[in-house]
Amino acid sequence: MPTITTLAARTPATRRRHVDLLRALAISAVVVGHWLVMTVQRGGDGLLTGFTALPHLTVLHPLTWVFQVMPLFFLVGGVSNAISWTRHRDRGGDARTWLLDRSARLFPPVTALLVTTAVGAVVAGWAGTPVAFVARVVELVVLPLWFLVVYLSVITLTPVMHRLHRRWGLALPAVLLVGVVLGDVVRLTTGVELGAAGNFAFAWIAIHQIGFAWQDGTLRLTRRRAALLLAGALAALLLLTGPGPYPVSMVSVPGAAIQNPSPPSLALMALAAAQVALAVLVAGPADRWLARPARGPPCSASTPPCSPCTCGTWSPRSSARSRSTPSACSRPRTCTRPRGGGGASRGSRR
């Protein structure tokens, strides 16, 4: 069996190694972030209970700007999906076979999680565990799958949205951003969170579309522009969460009047803009650093990408929790080095 060093040596120089790095950092942030804020204790009834400490640790809310990485997942997912779909289409493939292939490595671990949870619930019931407690445990285990539902929906739309991207480019995410703003106006004026329910689609599709633009070079975000975007996004974030109406926390806080991620808010979109800028800024240096043999890149051209699905199982809500992006769990695919501000051309194995 070839060693990691051998496999790394086979990796083409055109591989977008920074995408691997961003995935690894993102899933690490998810796991570490949940371990930091989750508290487990034994209640008066003797049963273990878990809850988030964020309502009591408001001083730590700014740290959620670091650990809220869902925009980053959709960004790199857009890059990977654009590369995969374009190559599949150019080979004469259709949307149906692409979707089946794209999700082929996602459904087995999700199915295993659901079956294991169901079996555990039945066994716990036979053992006399209170039904309410079992139901709560099952809820905590399956709740994180909301992300997979949303992401799979975005993947399903990829063939159509990529065609629209080739015609309209960045105008499309701009229009979707307007939809986010309108949704926020409704919820801020009415106090009804569901008034912005459309933001679940508008926000995540918009970020995914920006991933398309980053992949093909139409983003045109040079390092100087990226630095300006980062500064502007952080300034906007400070205004929106300071004198503005949005909470500082970028993750859900029980009891808060507004939840920035659910539905996604304009403040979360400002954070997404900052993450896009950071991704562009680190792409070049990360590629050069990871290309050094001594670094022993964990992924190579001849092996599937390292799966954050496995890492996600260490998140504290359950022993099999996953908030990973399906694009990171799919089959090996093509990828190339960005051109012109972070774009990429096709041509090498991913």
> What are the DSSP calls for 184-216, one per residue?
HHHHHHH--GGGGTTHHHHHHHHHHHHHHHHHH
- 231, part of any domain: yes
Beta bridge partners of 222: none
| Both tokens assigned to 39 | 């508290």
Mean pLDDT of 271-292: 87
Which of 335 and 207 is assigned the larger pLDDT? Answer: 207
Is 124 within the bounds of a domain?
no
**pLDDT tens digit sequence for 50-74:** 777 788 888 889 989 998 999 998 9
Q: How confident is residue 38, by pLDDT bands cut at 50, 70 and 90? A: confident
Q: Is residue 235's pLDDT more than 90?
A: yes
**Per the structure block, which two tokens stand in for 117?**
């949870």
Q: How confident is the model at residue 2 (pLDDT cuts 50, 70, 90)?
A: low
DSSP state for residue 346 in the 8-state scheme: -
How far, in Å, are 220, 270, 283 from residue 341 at the CA level? 5, 20, 10
User: How many domains, the chain?
Assistant: 1
Spell out the alpha helix ranges (H) of 143-265. Answer: 146-168, 171-190, 199-216, 223-241
**Is 120 a member of any domain?**
no
| 329 assigned to some structural domain | no
pLDDT at position 12 is 64
Range of the domain at 159: 16-47+71-105+145-293
Distance, CA of 338 to CA of 280 (rounded, Å): 10
- Token couple for 237: 């974030």
Let me know if residue 114 belongs to a domain: no
Q: Which of 90-104, 120-134, 191-205, 313-327 has the lowest mean pLDDT?
A: 313-327
Q: Give residue 304's identity as a one-letter amino acid code.
A: P
Q: Is 191 buried (19+), middle (13-18) or exposed (0-12) by CB count in 10 A? A: exposed
User: Is the confidence at residue 278, as pLDDT, over 90?
Assistant: yes
What's residue 201's pLDDT?
Answer: 93
Tokens in use for 93? 């493939």
CA distances for 202 relative to 2, 20, 184, 208, angstroms:
45, 26, 12, 10
- C-beta separation of 347 from 19 below 8 A: no
Residue 291 has pLDDT above 90, yes or no: no
Q: Is residue 205 part of a domain?
A: yes
- Find the mean pLDDT for residues 26-45: 76
Q: What is the 3-state secondary structure (H, E, C) of 294-332?
A: HHCCCCCCCCCCCCHHHHHCCCCCCCCCCCCCHHHHCCC
Q: Which two tokens stand for residue 85?
A: 């779909």
Is a pLDDT exceeding 90 seen at residue 24? no
Dihedral angle at the C-alpha atoms of 27, 31, 33, 39, nearest 10 degrees?
Answer: 160
pLDDT tens figures, 208-218:
999 999 999 99
pLDDT of residue 269: 97
Could you tell me if residue 140 is inside a domain? no
Residue 162 lies in a domain: yes
The full DSSP string for 64-116 is: HHHH--HHHHHHHHHHHHHHHHHHHHHTT--HHHHHHHHTTTTHHHHHHHHHH
Cα–Cα distance, 153 to 50 (Å, whole number): 30
Model pLDDT for residues 100-134, shown as the tens digit of each residue: 888 887 888 888 989 999 999 999 999 988 888 88
* Separation of alpha carbons 164 and 169, rounded Å: 7
In this prediction, residue 241 has a pLDDT band, given cuts at 50, 70 and 90, of very high
Q: Evaluate if residue 97 carries a pLDDT over 90.
A: yes
DSSP state of 261: B
User: According to the model, what pLDDT value does residue 225 have?
Assistant: 96
Q: Alpha-carbon distance 222 to 105, whole Å?
A: 35
The confidence band for 7, taking pLDDT boundaries of 50, 70 and 90, is low
Averaged pLDDT of the chain: 80
